[in-house]
Amino acid sequence: MKKLSLIPVLVVGALLIYAADDFPEWGNLSAPASASPLSSHFISNTGFDTEVPNMVTAVLADYRGFDTMFETVVVFIAGMAVLAILKNSSGSNSKKKNFHIETEPDIIVTNTVRLLIPVIQIFAFYVLAHGHVSPGGGFQGGVVMGASFIMIALSWDLEKALARFPMDRCFIVAGLGIVLYAGIGLLSMFLGGEFLDYAELANVFPVSREMARYHAMLGVEIGVGLTVTAIMFALYANLATEGRLKGGL
Amino acid sequence: MSAPEVTVIEDIRPLIAFVAPLIGVLGIAWAGEKRKNLRETFTFLVATIQASVVLSMVPILLSGSIIEFQIWQMFTHVPLLLRVDGFGLLFACVASLLWIATTVYAIGYMRGLHEHAQTRFYSFFAISLSATIGVAFSANLLTIYFFYEMLSVSTFPLVTHMQDKDARTGGRTYLGYLLFTSLCLLLPAMSWCYVWLDGGTVTMDFLADTGKVGDFSQTTQMVLLALFTFGFAKAGIMPLHSWLPGAMVAPTPVSALLHAVAVVKVGVFCVIRVYSDIFGIQVLQDLDGEDWMIGIACATILISSLIALSQDNLKRRLAFSTIGQLGYVVLGATLATEQGVGGSVLHIAMHACGKITLFFCAGAIFVASGKKYVSELRGLGRKMPITMGAFMIGSLSVIGLPPLGGFISKWYLALGALDRGMSWVVVVLLVSSLLNVFYLLPVAVTAFFRDPEEDQDTGMKEAPMACVVPLAITAIGCFVLFFFAEPILQLVGLSK
Amino acid sequence: MMENAIAWILIFPLFGSVACAILGMGNKKICYPIAVLSMAGSLWGGIETLRQVIASEVHRVSYIFGGWTLDKYPRGVGIEFHADILGILITLVVLGVGLIVSIYSKLPVQDETPNKEPLFYTLFLLQITGLAGICLTGDAFNLYVLIEVAALTGYGLIAMGSKRAAAATFNYVILGTIGASLYLLGVGYIYIKTGTLNMVGIHDVIVANGLADSSTMQVAFVLVGIGILIKMAFFPFHAWLPNAYCNAPTVTSSLLAPLVTKVMIYVMIRMVLSVFGVEFSFESTLWVDVMPWLVVVAIICAAVMALAQREIKRMLAYLIVAEVGYMVGGVWIYNYYGLIGSIFHVISDACMTLCLFLGAGLILRKAKTTHFDGLRGLFSKMPLTMTGFFIGGFSIIGLPPTCGFFSKWYLITGGMVSQRWEYMVVLMFSTMVMVVLFFRLIERIHLAVSESGENLGHGHGDLGLTKEQTRFDEGPLSMLIPLLLAATVVLVVGIYNQDIVNLIEIFLSEFNLPKGVGH
Amino acid sequence: MFEDGTIINELFIERLNYFIYVILLLIGLHGMIAKNNLIKKLIGMSIFQTAIILFYVSVGVKEGATIPIYLPEHDPHGSHASHGDENGTEEAVHGPVVLESGLVKGYANPLPHVLMLTAIVVGVATLGLALALCLRIYQGYGTIEEDEILAKIERQEMRLKPSIIVKSADSPKPKTSNSENSAPKPKVSSSPSTKRSKARPKAKAKTASTATKAKTSQAKSSSPKPKPAVSKSTTTGTKKSPAKPKTTASKTAGKSTTKAKPKPRAKPKAKPTTRTKATSTAKKATASKPKPRTPKK
């Protein structure tokens, strides 16, 4: 069986190597991908269209904002699906495993974490908000934020983390993130543009059309950040406890 | 097969004749097992409506026009079109009139035997008749196919009515043959015509597109002819005949109407349509390999008659007889002469009347005495004189003796054969008539002239009135048809 | 509102799903009406878009998200929704099926996944969002994202089923990820050569730069093609499908079975026709020579495996695999009629599979099993369900006037025009297999005979069952009505096939497809 | 050695990234297909996706270009050093401008990065979901080795199979005590088979199963008959002919194509009466099974 599985693998490999011969050279400036009107438009016009210095953020949240909305939805789906799979699923084999730790959490660890957490969370906000000018954005910020809650769960126990961020609230926050994202799109649609045409927000906010895009992007990133934060923590909490949400690692 | 200049009348009546039974099904199902009389009233009512609608169209046809009604556009260029021409109307008349008789008979038969699931029986019976009328009034090949399949499926619950092991075997053979041929032979053949004829604009209309198949090469034409002939397996041509004896597990009214009239006649009706209205007489006569088809039809006639001789089960014997008689009809179509086709058309009516009488009798015997086998019938003629008398008449009609209907159709068939210069076909006809005598007459003779067995219960008498009256009527019909051959031919438009 | 109808198609279920997730925490009962309403709203958007598409001169609606309109910006800067007739037709199928299933879902979801209704409906609506998006999107990468949306929700929905569902889903995850990743890789190959992700843009660049002979594009075609074939459960890659659909909850299988494979076939048609173009796909690759034979193998194997099953849902799952073979074959026999047949079969197969799975769900609910041994007497117990179920069955066989007949007619005609006899023969073969499958089922239900052929009753219609077992006992109306609705749709699509085919012909008229001799 | 046009030059110098990604991709693919452990499959999946990410990012590389963030001199808001954006009027004066075409080559292509951000997120989501499935599978079957799961599923199905038959068979005549007695029998007899089917190859089990199959099919065929005088273990029961069940059994055995449902006779010594016992033996069997196999690896 293992030998057999090599056949498709090698066939795929041969195909890919065959095609690689035809690729433009690595880093070639005149390669179609780099020289296409699309790429040059993104590079030359991002500032003009949106005033965002970070092209990746602009492409992510505005030019291809629709993609990113569904990307957020994918994260949301992952959380919902994991919950759906693991909820009430305690099977026969799960009870023999009991990791309940009787000892108190280590004082050094907890105190260090206590100090670290505000820093991490502020850093998360920074990554999120500063995504316009430096690498960063909603996903990255959200993951860092989610990590801070996971850290609580790791150093104390899951109950403490869940007390701060209960599972119900997790999903409400995640949902709100999507509502925020899609809501901004919807609002711009009601203002006369297409769905996600942030420029239309200039009709109600005292900013130029470009700056409207700029600010709406921040709103969108916050939405992404909310969803990612909540789902990252929810994923951890569910996976670590097989969906029972108590005990755990 | 229609006269060259015709006026076309738009009329909804063909649709009414088709839809009436379908609506009737709702009433039948609603009445259900609890209100038997109401249910059977519905059946009777629907049958009467259908027959009267069909009959009401006869004067229009006789005045030289045809009726059309388009239901909907199926494909580009191909409408689901109902058209009433003489041939179709004749078949519709036969089917719907005999349905009335069968309804009455079925009431007697089913109640006499206390059969189960009579609601289902009557419902699907009505659907089958609806499909039969649909076939009769179809104006093109796809329309006919449409109703043909409807008939195949709607008769399945009737064939498997007994719901036991035999029913399963019979049902499997039945559907296996019919659906295999229609889906695997007919569909490609139709698709072939549709694609390769005249730039895909051919509707395969029976009126407008006659003879267009002649554009194909001889080989292709021959393949198409074979596909169509065997594709309509309801016609029971020899290698594809065994569904018919298998379907005899059904209750007798089903065998009587469907397997003597509706289903098998739909088969030969379709074959005639293809031969005379898709290929056309001229194209067929020019086709080299067409003699093969005549040979197959003749072989069917002879072989089935020989098999019928060896059957002891009365219904099976009649079934094989039916196969032989269907061979006559196909033979007439393959002869591709005016006279031959006329003979085929007549034989549909004549044989329907004769064979349904025989089946009615077989059923009546079963109801009255529970006997199924020919060898058990000794002396029965004295107990059931009307039944056996009708059986005698039916037999003679099928054999083809004047003054009974069967004679005329055979006469025309023979004329058609002579037209083509195939005298050997006439010989086949004679030999098979002789065989008919051998396997049909002994039944009546045994019943009338042999002494009853000793242990026979003496209390036996005629079947219920509801059974006897229809068979008497159809027996009389065999006489009457003898004198109505000419009007029928005039209706069909062949009489010059 | 009207001009954004195409966006509303996705917005309704998207917001509906979030509403289910948030509001459903408090009150589980609210999820069902939300789902039905958002499906209805979405369907409205679909119908409105269809109207716009038909009304427009070029028969397509282009909608670019974010206001990156073509008059001011180059094509492909924003993400485009590109609704041509084909796309919007399949979208309507998705939405219609979604609406019917959402109505159907009330009781089975309550019973089969207790306390998980909000989760279920969230994933359900997002599944529809993903599938509808796949049909509409005009961006190759956005298509990948939407495929993953549909796939991930599908995993979640299936895994809520029986215990075995988890293992089945895991297989699905692995194969599905391979498929989607290969597609993604293929898109990367396209991008490296064309520098754009917009489907129209890709096609323009391929034509303008003459990329047909480029080995990169050839491999991209293979990668995209195989990725899609895995996703649509084409025969050698079908392993994930039967187990996943059999063990899924009733509603899940009724939703996924009609849609997922069909939508992926739509993606293949779209890739072949609109993205790579007719010349590239059919003239400069070997697929035309190879695929019909693979299709032959696929249909035969799937049909034979379906024959071996003794359980309705599993049998249907293999039937889907066979049907996928039909449609793929219809595309690769490469002619006008084959494509009409393929597209129309996508529509009709969705309807009839829906019919069958809804029926199977009702049978499971009332008869407690879908194994052939437990079905005797169902005709008298639940006649309406059986009518609906077998209308779907007859459609699969291809009996008129169900829609299955008409699609099969076009497929056969296509095979005839291309003179692909092997395809025609295999169509006939599988048709006969389907006759056997469904009439065997009818036998098992209708006759008092066991499989090995013994009589079970006393004769005279006695099925060997008690009175209670044959008494009229239909399923709940909320399930029965959707089934009958689906059965009606099967008939209506059949009867009005000409209207649909006319639309398909408008779509196909812009491609240069061989029509056969004399056309 | 490295002249232009040689394959080595083509592949290893100019397109080294593309070569490496292919290798990674193949490793991942092989892991997904061939590995037996579900977690290892997931690791393969991650490698696979990462390889694709590497490919995309390689596409975005431009020689001599910097990251796709505007340098201060190109910043749409102007240089941060000289101008604060303290008031809105600034933009009108110092509005953003389109970058000159000559400068475009100075920035890397942002699009692949954006796409890969999306792909990463999708990968994470898939991975999370797949891990949850693994947990669920582990809960259900107590293992994450694929072949063991398959074996367990097969065994469960087999255990399920007679119960379906029994259900449908005894349902028509629930009153007759005889058929009730006979009905659970195949269920019980099949439970120890869990051990057997584990121990011996499938084909052998199939042949051995014929006898019990006869029994079960007999139960299936005979119990709904009107005559309740059908006793299960002997062949005297059926009125028609005692030979009949045997023939049908062989027929069904011949027909069973896809899955062997081995139902060997109950061993005389192991006669568990309850299900729990059966599962415990099954567990034992699985526990003992991997041991001989692991050293092979």
Closest-CA distance, D166 to chain C, in angstroms, reads 10
Give the pLDDT band (50/70/90) at residue C252. Answer: very high
Q: Are residues D281 and D193 part of one domain?
A: yes
* pLDDT of C138 strictly over 60: yes
Q: What average pLDDT does the structure give for chain D?
A: 62
- Summarised one tens digit per residue, pLDDT across range D23-80 is 999 999 999 888 889 999 999 999 999 999 999 988 888 888 888 888 877 777 654 4
Q: Are residues D61 and D11 part of one domain?
A: yes
Give the pLDDT band (50/70/90) at residue C370. Answer: confident
Mean pLDDT of C139-148: 93
pLDDT at C129: 93
pLDDT at D86: 47
Mean pLDDT of C142-157: 93
Q: Are residues D217 and D135 part of one domain?
A: no
Q: Are residues D212 and D176 part of one domain?
A: yes
Residue numbers in B near C412 (CB within 8 A): 187-188, 191
Touching chains B and D? (3+ Cβ pairs < 8 A): no
Interface test with C, best of B30, B150, B158, B164 (most C CBs within 10 A): B164
Whether D97 maps to a domain, the answer reads: no
Q: Are residues B368 and B246 part of one domain?
A: no
The CA distance from B128 to D159, in Å, is 46
The CA distance from C344 to B358, in Å, is 49
Identity of residue C241: L
**H helical segments located in B450-464:** none
- Summarised one tens digit per residue, pLDDT across range C27-67 is 888 899 999 999 999 999 999 999 999 998 888 888 988 88
Q: Are residues B52 and B15 part of one domain?
A: yes
Domain boundaries, chain A: 52-89+99-240
Q: For chain C, what percent of residues have pLDDT higher than 70?
A: 97
What DSSP string describes C316-337?
Answer: HHHHHHHHHHHHHHHHHT-SHH
Parallel, antiparallel or unpaired: strands B65-75 and B78-84: antiparallel
Least confident residue range of A169-178, B150-159, B349-358, D262-271: D262-271
Closest-CA distance, D43 to chain A, in angstroms, reads 16
Residue numbers in D near A13 (CB within 8 A): 22, 25-26
pLDDT at B458: 58
Q: Shortest CB distance from C452 goes to which of D136, D252, D258?
A: D252
Residue A105, burial from CB neighbour count under 10 angstroms (0-12, 13-18, 19+): middle
Residue numbers in A near D75 (CB within 8 A): 47, 53
Give the pLDDT band (50/70/90) at residue C518. Answer: very low
Mean pLDDT of C345-360: 93
Give the pLDDT band (50/70/90) at residue D259. Answer: very low
The reply to whether residue C181 touches residue D49, judged by beta carbons under 8 angstroms, is yes
Q: Which of B403, B412, B389 is nearest to B478 (CA)?
A: B403
Contacts of B98 (CB under 8 A, 6+ apart): B257, B261, B352, B353, B356, B474
Interface test with A, best of D42, D105, D114, D137 (most A CBs within 10 A): D114
pLDDT at C116: 86
Q: Which residue of B has its CA nearest to C340?
A: B75
At which residue do the structure tokens 């492409």 appear? A59
Whether D95 maps to a domain, the answer reads: no
Positions in chain B short of pLDDT 50: 1-3, 495-496
Answer for the pair C351, C403: CB distance below 8 angstroms, yes or no.
yes
The CA distance from A65 to B375, in Å, is 88
Interface contacts (C, D; CB < 8 Å): 116
Q: Shortest CB distance from A239 goes to which of D99, D124, D135?
A: D135
Q: Are residues D157 and D279 part of one domain?
A: yes
At which residue do the structure tokens 């349904």 appear? B356
pLDDT at C483: 93
Task: Report ipTM (2 d.p.).
Answer: 0.87
Q: Which of B251, B280, B309 is the last residue of a domain?
A: B280
Q: Are residues B106 and B81 part of one domain?
A: yes
The reply to whether residue C305 touches residue D221, judged by beta carbons under 8 angstroms, is no
Interface test with A, best of C79, C128, C143 (most A CBs within 10 A): C79
Q: Shortest CB distance from A208 goes to which of D30, D91, D117?
A: D91
Give the pLDDT band (50/70/90) at residue D9. Answer: low
Answer for the pair B92, B17: CB distance below 8 angstroms, yes or no.
yes
Residue D129's SS3 state is helix
Residue C11, burial from CB neighbour count under 10 angstroms (0-12, 13-18, 19+): buried
Angle between helices C250-270 and C140-159 (to 10 degrees): 160
Q: Are residues D140 and D6 part of one domain?
A: yes
Q: Which of B280, B297, B324 is the last residue of a domain?
A: B280
Q: Are residues B186 and B53 part of one domain?
A: yes
Angle between helices C140-159 and C240-247 (to 10 degrees): 50
**Which range marks the domain in which residue B223 is found?**
1-280
Q: Which of A69, A79, A55, A73 is nearest to A220 (CA)?
A: A69
Q: Are residues D164 and D54 part of one domain?
A: no
Parallel, antiparallel or unpaired: strands C80-84 and B78-84: unpaired
Q: Are residues D115 and D19 part of one domain?
A: yes
Q: What average pLDDT does the structure give for chain C?
A: 89
Mean pLDDT of C160-167: 84
* pLDDT of C71 strictly over 80: yes
- In the numeric block, which tokens belong to residue B431? 């030999």
Q: For chain C, what percent of residues have pLDDT higher than 90?
A: 50
DSSP letter at B420 equals T
Higher pLDDT, D103 or C154: C154
**Which range marks the domain in which residue D180 is found?**
147-222+246-251+273-286
Residue numbers in A near D125 (CB within 8 A): 74-75, 77-78
Q: Are residues B293 and B265 part of one domain?
A: no
- Summarised one tens digit per residue, pLDDT across range C41-51 is 999 999 999 99
Residue numbers in D near C184 (CB within 8 A): 52, 119
Q: Which of C331, C260, C319, C320 is nearest to C294 (CA)?
A: C331
Closest-CA distance, D225 to chain A, in angstroms, reads 40
Mean pLDDT of A152-180: 89
Q: Does A87 touch chain C (CB under 8 A)?
A: yes
pLDDT at C11: 92
Q: Are residues B229 and B80 part of one domain?
A: yes
The CA distance from D124 to B386, in Å, is 88
Neighbours of chain C (3+ CB pairs under 8 A): A, B, D
The CA distance from C253 to C108, in Å, is 12
**H helical segments located in C57-214:** 85-104, 106-112, 117-136, 140-159, 163-194, 199-209
Q: Are residues D120 and D198 part of one domain?
A: no
Q: Which of B387, B135, B433 is nearest to B258 (CA)?
A: B135
Q: Give the domain CATH number at D18.
A: 1.10.287.3510
Q: Are residues B331 and B189 part of one domain?
A: no
Q: Are residues D204 and D166 part of one domain?
A: yes
Q: Are residues D176 and D63 part of one domain?
A: no
The CA distance from C38 to C95, in Å, is 10
Q: Give the count of domains, chain D.
A: 2
Higher pLDDT, D165 or B438: B438
Q: Does A224 touch chain C (CB under 8 A)?
A: no
The CA distance from B405 to B346, in Å, is 9
Closest-CA distance, A153 to chain C, in angstroms, reads 24
Residue numbers in D near C466 (CB within 8 A): 172-174
Residue numbers in A near D11 (CB within 8 A): 17, 20-21
pLDDT at D170: 40
Q: Which of B230, B263, B280 is the last residue of a domain?
A: B280
Q: Are residues D155 and D113 part of one domain?
A: no
* pLDDT of C285 strictly over 90: no
Q: Give the count of domains, chain B.
A: 2
The reply to whether residue C222 touches residue A64, judged by beta carbons under 8 angstroms, is no
The reply to whether residue B194 touches residue C448, judged by beta carbons under 8 angstroms, is no
Residue A8, burial from CB neighbour count under 10 angstroms (0-12, 13-18, 19+): middle
- In the numeric block, which tokens belong to residue C233? 């459960």
Q: Are residues B272 and B303 part of one domain?
A: no
Q: Shortest CB distance from C170 goes to which of D56, D133, D252?
A: D133
* pLDDT of C381 strictly over 60: yes
Q: Which residue of D has its CA nearest to A54?
A: D69
Instruction: Tell me the HSE value of A145 on the side-chain side, using a 13 A CA sphere.
Output: 26
Answer for the pair B475, B389: CB distance below 8 angstroms, yes or no.
yes
Least confident residue range of A114-118, A142-146, A174-178, B256-260: B256-260
Whether D292 maps to a domain, the answer reads: no
Show which residues on chain B lie within 8 Å of chain C, measured between beta carbons. Answer: 72-76, 114-117, 145-146, 149-150, 153, 156-157, 160-165, 167-168, 171-172, 175-176, 179-180, 183-184, 187-188, 191-192, 194-196, 198-200
- Summarised one tens digit per residue, pLDDT across range D207-254 is 444 444 444 444 444 444 444 333 343 333 334 444 444 444 444 444
- Summarised one tens digit per residue, pLDDT across range D94-122 is 567 777 777 888 888 889 999 999 999 99
